[in-house]
Amino acid sequence: MPPKKEAPVVVDIESSDDEGSVEVVRRVADDDDRKPAISNAARIAAIAPPPPPPPAAAGDGLESRSFWKAGNYAVAPDMKLASDSSLLEYARVHPKFLHSNATSHKWAFGAIAELLDNAVDEIRNGATFVKIDKIDILKDNSPALLIQDDGGGMDPDGIRKCMSLGYSSKKSNTTIGQYGNGFKTSTMRLGADVIVFTRAIRAGRATQSIGLLSYTFLRTTGQDDVIVPMIDFDISGHWTEPIIYGSKNDWSANLQTILEWSPFASRGDLMQQFEDIGSHGTKVLIYNLWLNDEGIYELSFDDDEEDIMLRDEANQGSATSLNKRTAAVQAHISYRLRYSLRAYASILYLRKFTNFKILLRGKPVDQYIIADDLKYSKVVSYKPLAAAASKEVAVETTIGFIKEVDHVGICGFNVYHKNRLIRPFWKVTSDGSSKGYGVVGVLEANFIEPAHDKQDFERSSLFIRLEAKLKQILSEYWKSYCHLIGYQPPGFKAQKVQKGNLSPMGVETNAQKQSRESHHLASVYEGVQLNPSTVSVAANVRQVSIDGQSNNRKELSVNQPIVGSAMGSENASTNGIESMSLDQICDENLQLFMRLQGHKEKETELLEMVQKVEKELEETRRKCASLSSYIETQRKQNLLQQHARKV
């Protein structure tokens, strides 16, 4: 059956109607109107801006003068490109821009998260999984990164929009993608080349497409424009038929370019990549992965067969022995997410998926909802000032202590935007302050806009007000709950016995003393976290009256021993416990608390000293190595000179 033929098409560039960005489109042209110079491949370029509109009438004004909202405008529907190229010059996109554009991702995991977002957005189109894995390229035995989902896939128009700069068709309030730049920046951040395989069914027509975005190809062949070879097939019938827009030569040229610069040597190898996609879905293969400064792959696939590591981050701290506290910190997810993709993906989305899985190297990622794992948690409602205009609902922040608070002092807020983590463990307190020790908050801030790499927020006035509000939330929570983990709240002062609370004879009565001790105990409970055993003892204090005597004896429960003693004994006898007054118990606990704080400060100082000494040792070793190399060089030169004299 001969291949299907459609009206010839010339690849042109048109501005999208949502963000003033760049879109690759196809327009039908007559045979005598075709432009061979650009019909052989899809080109990505920008157009010159249209003439400025006439001044607005008095009183009309602008919708918004805010920089972050100035791009929210609609292009006139009748706006068209000039047919005469002399009337309108095209601004071309040099291939180097692909690299420059990708530098918006400072972190490789941020780039991978962009590709995960695309798969998560496909849940509305039936996606049930996204898998991330490593495969080996047979051509050169190098690793490649595979990201595949079973979403709706892309038809020929869709893959061209995907390969375009700045185009985004995602307008739903629930979709994560919005800038139309994530695929290009993320793939180019991870590797020099990417090939995309996709299948889709649109209006009863089944298609499959292949697109190649190769920085290696563009740079090696000296291109001065971004060329993206793409080929399409109609698979609605019993046979796979090429979809030809221009001529067979153009289609064959695109296929040949893909075969030459992709990991696949034949058309059969390309077709084989569709076998595990099914009737719809997308497979992204990133190859020629970037290296680090040491000349090895930035992504490590060998450290853990069920994970993908960031090599440079994973190696930090592994060379030296770690004390127990440092090891506990590095075992916490707030630290592991820096180098473990599995840890990062586990908290990347705020809400658990019901019928969707993230498969990392064949094993599902267990989502970790931090808010469900906090101690003494509470929910604080916050309504942004902009909510009245945008009908934004109140933002609920869940705040509490991490369960590892006894060993790990991690603190900060995990701020999400449209279910996606933007800022993990954002510390809003000043460095060196103990306020907020172990306190973590979780919130979804859809009223502020994330940066293009989705690793931070644009620093707008709403963001600044949010930061101030989070500081207030943390301060209020700390003041009310810090005693539960052994910290003294701000402004706490132990109540003193008033001299006026005496009987006319100058002796404190039993009722007065009992009332004073009750108030004293209440104040201590409110201000300082007592040792659990001390609290149990104090809770079982009973007043015993002895006839004819003014002897107040405290009968304490001996079932709960007191941990620690101001007299230096850690295991007090029953008689010793009974002989202690309530004031002594409280004073002892305060002394232990102060000693604990002193030990913590001393430990911090020692850790800083160890780090300083290690740096000095490393510098000394470096100098020693340099001197040894210099001496060895001089020795060899002297030997050569002596040998030359003898000759």
Dihedral of CA atoms 29, 30, 33, 36 in degrees, nearest 10, equals 70
What confidence score (pLDDT) does residue 569 get?
40
What confidence score (pLDDT) does residue 581 get?
65
The C-alpha R_g of the chain, in whole angstroms, comes to 34
Domain locations along the chain: 95-312, 369-485
What confidence score (pLDDT) does residue 583 get?
65
What confidence score (pLDDT) does residue 351 get?
95
What confidence score (pLDDT) does residue 315 get?
66
Q: Give the closest residue to 355 by CA, choosing from 127, 91, 144.
A: 127
What confidence score (pLDDT) does residue 182 get?
75
CA angle at residue 594 from 593 to 597, to 5 degrees?
Answer: 90
The CATH class given to the 95-312 domain equals: alpha beta
Which residues on adjacent β-strands are paired with residue 207? 200, 234
What confidence score (pLDDT) does residue 419 get?
95
107 class by beta-carbon count within 10 Å (0-12 exposed, 13-18 middle, 19+ buried): middle
What confidence score (pLDDT) does residue 488 get?
83
Q: Give the closest residue to 579 by CA, choosing from 565, 592, 599.
A: 565
Q: Do domains 95-312 and 369-485 have the same CATH topology?
A: no
What confidence score (pLDDT) does residue 588 get?
74
What confidence score (pLDDT) does residue 220 get?
87
Answering whether pTM is above 0.85, one says no
- Mean pLDDT, 10 residues at a time, over the chain (647 residues)? 38 36 38 38 37 39 36 42 50 78 86 94 95 93 96 94 66 43 86 95 94 91 88 92 92 95 94 94 95 88 94 63 77 93 97 96 96 94 67 84 89 95 92 86 93 88 92 94 86 50 46 48 42 40 38 37 37 48 70 80 88 90 88 87 81
Assess contact for 217 and 254: CB atoms under 8 A.
Answer: no
562 class by beta-carbon count within 10 Å (0-12 exposed, 13-18 middle, 19+ buried): buried
Name the token pair of 172: 């739903």
Domain 369-485 grouped into CATH 3.40.50: no
